[in-house]
Structure 1
Amino acid sequence: MDSFNAVLKKLLALTSTSSHRILLRAGGVAALTIIVRFLLAAPKKRTKYISDLRKVGAPVLPQESSANAIPTPNQDPEYDVIIVGGGTSGCVLAARLSEDPSVRVLLLEAGGSGTALPYSRIPSGFSRLFRTKHVYNFHTEPSAGAGGKTHYWPRAKLLGGCSSINAQMAQYGAPEDFDEWAQVIGDSSWSFKNFSKYINKFERFVPHTEYSSVDASARGANGPMTIGYFNSVSDKSKSFLQSCVNIGIPFTPDFNGPAGTLGVGRVMTYVNEKKERVSSESGYLTPEVLERPNLKVAVHAKVTKVLVEVVDGKKRATGVEFATTKEGARYKARARKEVIISGGAIHSPHILMLSGVGPASHLKEHDIPVVQDLPGVGGHLVDHPVIDLYFKDKTNTSMKWIQPHSFSDFLRLTSSVFQYQVLRTGMLTTNFGEVAAFVRTDDPTLFPPSRYPQQLRDSTSGPGAPDLEFFTTPLAYKEHGAVGFDVHTYALHVYLLKPTSFGNVFLKSANPWDLPGVDPKYLSTDEDVQKLLRGVRLLLQISQTAPLSTVLDASFLRSDLDHALHFKSDSEIIELIRTRVETVYHPTSTCRMAPLGQGGVVDGELRVYGVEGLRVCDASVFTEVVSGHTAGACLAVAEKLSDDLKRGWRS
């Protein structure tokens, strides 16, 4: 009721005039009811999720709490596989490994269900989960390359992980990215030729009559994750696409298709026929999967450390310790075959370090007993830095009403909620990332040498791979959606796909309930700055090219919008880049798959060096960040590991 009262008070404040009160009485109450019922709807209950940790673990005894507690057979619950983290990869592992009825699987997730939350299901609602209990609300260390600022870094705390809070853009990187992985680790199974079958395995591509040029034979048809064109796309984003073509960026029907990644086109999405998000939770943890007697999914179960003992002279992960709250009881469970950490690029290295696996000197700083000295844990953190540009929408048809500031905004929001709830149509079906373009900064057509004489080092994974992505959103926003504009806006965005700036994840204490430190070291190299400068310049050129230029109000020269940005010097735009740089939510590579002497944490089979029975599977194992969106690669990596494990167990 507190949330209801807050909404009601805001509405009443906006309806202070008598005429507005009449409107409210005539239809506003019913409209408000629709909104409140939607936003405050009771969660969808998933009865097969376990919140009572006594049902999946045994209490940790007081004398064990200060030591590396080792579960013993016949006392503690035992599973074949324990998966730490029910994120994008973790849900895949739980579903696939439990397909074998003889394999007992326990999935432990620190948050609750993502599918139970309206803001996760509705395509345009995901940013409303930021700054709530459903995410870890990280803030980075001050970044010298970004004006000494800290940056808000939301990471998911719910089943489905970041696939439950992302923009649902189904683009997986460039084929050369995976060839690069294979070359670094020396394992051809990671090459695109071999790895792509796992991309197809998770896909259920639904053809669209307007996009018949997509080669359906290159897409999977029977996987758990629906991909296609069920989101809405604004006319302005269609104009952006045509303007890109008009300046020389070729159209492509499929960024994941045989023609490669480069070009501009509408983005496929993880949105299904019901116009709802498809996360790894909804795609893989279906009611049928949750009925399996050999699978247990525990929610609100935060793993505090992996338990390691010496077996036959070798270190081996034998179980995990977990709890719901800092003050609450701790529990433990035993793993016969594998402990697989799937906490993501921030939490996976954090859990390893809490468990004594990481840089020895750093562990000793926090009085954590060293189990395995692995200097690469937490290092090589790379994220895609994004720059947002803001424009006035001349047509006044943006989604400004999604953050209502007036009575008319509330009515527009009401109408849109009704459209979505009843008809499954309207602008709320947008995923925000509607159209994208992938380019190279050494493309002489887009960046003529006469204008850009400086030769920048090629950091891409191959000649067909991009180093910049542009994308559009149907309105502009700041602070990750927390702040909007009081006028109708449209936004263009550019981010660097292959940065040469690397940061790290580090312990702030030995307390597992304290978040680790995150330092992405944005824009530490001049190369990264220069490539983003080229990206901003090209975006400004696109904004001034028809037909997009006809729907943006270039005469609107207010200082908080960017219609006059092209008049600025390079040094002034560089200052803007350093001021505005933000995360686009793609951190990777903090538990890299690489040789041990080259900063590697896991081998080609995702086994943690030096500790048997312990693997990592999520974006943290990426040898290098992919040239695009990370969710698809996370799904495919988990599909591959599941196949590899089952094949190994059979033999």
Structure 2
Amino acid sequence: MATIGGSTLSAFAMNTKARLGNNRLTWLTVVAVSILLKRALKARSRTKLIADARQVAREVKEDLEFDEYDIIIIGGGTAGCVLAARLSEDPSLRVLLLEAGQSGRTLKETRIPVAYSLLFRTKHVHQLYTEAQDSANGKRKFWPRAKMLGGCSSINAQMAQIGAPADFDRWGDIIDDDAWKWHNLQRYFRKYEKYVPHPEFPDVDLSVKGKDGPVEIGYFSEVSEGSKLFIKACQRVGIPYSPDFNTSKGTLGVNKVMTFIDEKGTRVSSESAYLTHEVLARPNLKVVVNATVTKIITEKVGDKVKAVGAEFAKSQNGTRYRVKSRREVIVSAGAVHSPHILLLSGIGPAAELEKHNIPVALDLPGVGDNLVDHPVVDLYYKNRYKDSPLHVKPKSIPDVFRLIASTLQYQILRTGALATNFGESAAFVRSDDRKLFSESDYPDKLNDTTSADNSPDLEIFTTPMAYKDHGDFTFPMHTFAVHAVLLRPKSKGTLTLRSASPWDAPVLNPNYLKEPEDLQKLVRGVRLITKIAKEEPLASRLDLGDKEALLDSDTHLKTDEELAELIKERVETLYHPTTTCKMAPLEQGGVVDSHLRVYGVKGLRVCDASIFPEIVSGHTAAAVLASAEHLADIIRSELRNA
């Protein structure tokens, strides 16, 4: 989910100066905002990270042996930080974590709740684009993926929603392993979790919440008045209130979103939670930043393939380094870069590798296949009360002063405009719910892609203001936005190589709306938004009479065919790509088994959203954290029994 901009705070200052002119007072206020934001979340102490590869590795030269570790983790994202912290708890294991970017925790934009999308157009994010989407008006879509420790947990909205319990029962059925089913896997959600109760939400069952995990979650983000009224309007149209989306009872219902934001109003990333200063001080853990892995080193052992290390570099023309693994190489580079690295290493569909003159280490057809994402469509409404946080991307001198005031409020009280998670309230529903979509209006019976009768396939969520182009464009008036997400799309895409160079982004084609039923379900989601917007008490807060062309005041009057065209024009990513190295039987296109071992390659595993057998019907970060906790236990158990 995007919010308020596409530049760093320094760039924000320069851009604002250009917009507002050289007025000395205005310029000083902009500088003041930048200084205050920098101080607001200043790192408590320097992190113990390694930037000089020579401290851990050797240059690629035939006459030099290269350094050896027990476990090499490629990618310090949401899963990689978990694995590095958990596996290095065993002092007998030498663990090396290689991350292409730098620390995310040192960037203030990753710590202030509203500020994360300021990083989208910076060097800290891979600037990826999809191929032209044939079923979405031929547009290429921006797909930002984090390039820093913490991964996308550092740049995405912190919505702590796990999906539906039955999603994981489906996982267990697909891979034929009960360990991945909800009744077993739920302990790993609790293991990472430290739920902090909030007095406004007394109905949360504390007996099913984690209390001692490293990741603090709760209801501590700021919520706009519009998002509060949205919850009441949803109940009036027939969506029940849910005190907690994350229990065995299932996901259906509406509420404020629980977040990975702590009680001090600070975003919690995988890096800040797991790679604490105490963890980084362990002598058996080395974390190397600015280290782009160019390939996994494999060798033939008889007729078998074995992963024995990794090669990496700081830049395209920089020195190449190698490190060796005694036991495991774990690829945790995300649903885009994990399959990309496997392909560059000669592991993937033979025809694809041969096309780019990459020696085939193992013909594994499923690598890069089955790409699935959550598509989202936004609707924009006028805020009658003119109290949206429009000033977080200032367009005038008064906006600048409001931003300074909000910065001081956040720094002192951890409340106000900067404390919003932006994704504030959410409703999870089924597209076949006849209370919401009557048979007379929607006679067609659509394919049920949900994981169970009590699992959703649509999410409707709110943001306190509208935006376009991932936050690059914010509206000139006060707005309120509501968004429809397709949680269980049938459309699947592919990830393939652009070239044999590790520095060329892969070819991404999610095939948005390729399956006609995906479009039909999103039409129902958008129609539901227009119904909720006209329901009290939300309707009185919105100015549905405003005819401004940018707004959706009259969208409820459109036909389904017109709504379909609107969806094709506006559909974007919710930043949840998955399933490109899916956990499934080999004959079903699987890449990894139930222990996340790559089929046919000894000593190689994958752990991140790419291993999802199916996309979850909710937000993906929680399932990645739980999967990494589970894998850490699997590896430790295997080592004990070796």
The equivalent of 1:52 in structure 2 is 52
Q: CA RMSD in A?
A: 1.7
- Pair 235,467 (structure 1): closer, same or farther in 2 beyond 3 Å: same
The equivalent of 1:626 in structure 2 is 616
Aligned counterparts of 2:264 and 2:419: Cα–Cα separation in 1? 10
Aligned counterparts of 1:416 and 1:6: Cα–Cα separation in 2? 16
The one-character-per-residue Cα deviations of 1:341-392 (angstroms, maximum 9, x if unpaired) are 0010000000000000000000000000001101100000000000000000
Checking the alignment, whether the CA contact within 8 Å between 2:377 and 2:572 is kept in structure 1 is yes
Checking the alignment, whether the CA contact within 8 Å between 2:19 and 2:395 is kept in structure 1 is no
Aligned counterparts of 1:418 and 1:579: Cα–Cα separation in 2? 39
- Pair 329,425 (structure 1): closer, same or farther in 2 beyond 3 Å: same
Q: Once the 2 structures are TM-superposed, how far is the Cα of residue 4 of structure 1 from its aligned partner?
A: 6.0
- Pair 210,434 (structure 1): closer, same or farther in 2 beyond 3 Å: same
Checking the alignment, whether the CA contact within 8 Å between 1:11 and 1:407 is kept in structure 2 is no
Q: Does 1:7 align with 2:24?
A: no
Structure 2 unaligned segments of length 5 or more: list them.
Answer: 1-7
The equivalent of 1:389 in structure 2 is 379
Out of 591, 601, 607, the position equivalent to 1:601 is 591
2:300 alignment partner AA: V
Q: Once the 2 structures are TM-superposed, how far is the Cα of residue 30 of structure 1 from its aligned partner?
A: 6.5
SS, match of residue 547 in structure 2: coil
Q: Once the 2 structures are TM-superposed, how far is the Cα of residue 257 of structure 1 from its aligned partner?
A: 1.9
1:59 alignment partner AA: E
SS, match of residue 492 in structure 1: strand
The equivalent of 1:68 in structure 2 is none
Aligned counterparts of 1:178 and 1:328: Cα–Cα separation in 2? 43
Out of 488, 498, 509, the position equivalent to 1:498 is 488
The one-character-per-residue Cα deviations of 1:602-638 (angstroms, maximum 9, x if unpaired) are 0011000000000000000000000000000000000
The one-character-per-residue Cα deviations of 1:119-155 (angstroms, maximum 9, x if unpaired) are 1110000110001101001010001110100000000
1:143 alignment partner AA: Q
Q: Once the 2 structures are TM-superposed, how far is the Cα of residue 10 of structure 1 from its aligned partner?
A: 3.8
Aligned counterparts of 1:228 and 1:520: Cα–Cα separation in 2? 33
- Pair 512,475 (structure 1): closer, same or farther in 2 beyond 3 Å: same
Aligned counterparts of 1:496 and 1:309: Cα–Cα separation in 2? 42
Q: Once the 2 structures are TM-superposed, how far is the Cα of residue 258 of structure 1 from its aligned partner?
A: 3.4
The equivalent of 1:474 in structure 2 is 464
**Superposition map of 1:318-397 within 5 A:** 318-397=308-387
Which segment is superposed worse, 420-429 or 408-417? 420-429
1:299 alignment partner AA: V
Structure 1 unaligned segments of length 5 or more: list them.
Answer: 65-71
The one-character-per-residue Cα deviations of 1:540-575 (angstroms, maximum 9, x if unpaired) are 000000000000001101111101011111111100
The equivalent of 1:454 in structure 2 is 444
Q: Once the 2 structures are TM-superposed, how far is the Cα of residue 270 of structure 1 from its aligned partner?
A: 0.4
The one-character-per-residue Cα deviations of 1:216-252 (angstroms, maximum 9, x if unpaired) are 1111000000000111001110000000000000000
The equivalent of 1:69 in structure 2 is none
Aligned counterparts of 2:591 and 2:9: Cα–Cα separation in 1? 45
Checking the alignment, whether the CA contact within 8 Å between 1:15 and 1:407 is kept in structure 2 is no
Q: Once the 2 structures are TM-superposed, how far is the Cα of residue 401 of structure 1 from its aligned partner?
A: 0.9
Out of 406, 409, 412, the position equivalent to 1:419 is 409
Q: Does 1:217 align with 2:207?
A: yes
The equivalent of 1:566 in structure 2 is 556
The equivalent of 1:81 in structure 2 is 71
1:48 alignment partner AA: K
Q: Does 1:511 align with 2:517?
A: no
The equivalent of 1:37 in structure 2 is 35
1:447 alignment partner AA: F
- Pair 324,38 (structure 1): closer, same or farther in 2 beyond 3 Å: farther
Checking the alignment, whether the CA contact within 8 Å between 2:17 and 2:27 is kept in structure 1 is no
Q: Does 1:168 align with 2:158?
A: yes
Aligned residues: 632
The equivalent of 1:399 in structure 2 is 389
Out of 290, 300, 309, the position equivalent to 2:299 is 309
- Pair 199,124 (structure 1): closer, same or farther in 2 beyond 3 Å: same
Q: Does 1:282 align with 2:280?
A: no
Checking the alignment, whether the CA contact within 8 Å between 2:159 and 2:423 is kept in structure 1 is yes
SS, match of residue 467 in structure 2: coil
Checking the alignment, whether the CA contact within 8 Å between 2:47 and 2:280 is kept in structure 1 is no
2:13 alignment partner AA: V
Q: Once the 2 structures are TM-superposed, how far is the Cα of residue 312 of structure 1 from its aligned partner?
A: 4.7
What percent identity do the matched residue pairs reach?
55
Q: Does 1:130 align with 2:120?
A: yes
- Pair 38,324 (structure 1): closer, same or farther in 2 beyond 3 Å: farther
- Pair 4,171 (structure 1): closer, same or farther in 2 beyond 3 Å: closer
Checking the alignment, whether the CA contact within 8 Å between 1:34 and 1:418 is kept in structure 2 is no
- Pair 285,6 (structure 1): closer, same or farther in 2 beyond 3 Å: closer
SS, match of residue 146 in structure 1: coil
The equivalent of 2:286 in structure 1 is 296
Aligned counterparts of 1:415 and 1:564: Cα–Cα separation in 2? 36
**Superposition map of 1:195-234 within 5 A:** 195-234=185-224
- Pair 37,349 (structure 1): closer, same or farther in 2 beyond 3 Å: same
User: How does the TM-score come out when normalised to structure 2?
Assistant: 0.96
Aligned counterparts of 2:30 and 2:466: Cα–Cα separation in 1? 26
Checking the alignment, whether the CA contact within 8 Å between 2:252 and 2:454 is kept in structure 1 is yes
Aligned counterparts of 1:15 and 1:60: Cα–Cα separation in 2? 52
Aligned counterparts of 1:542 and 1:502: Cα–Cα separation in 2? 30
Checking the alignment, whether the CA contact within 8 Å between 2:265 and 2:419 is kept in structure 1 is yes
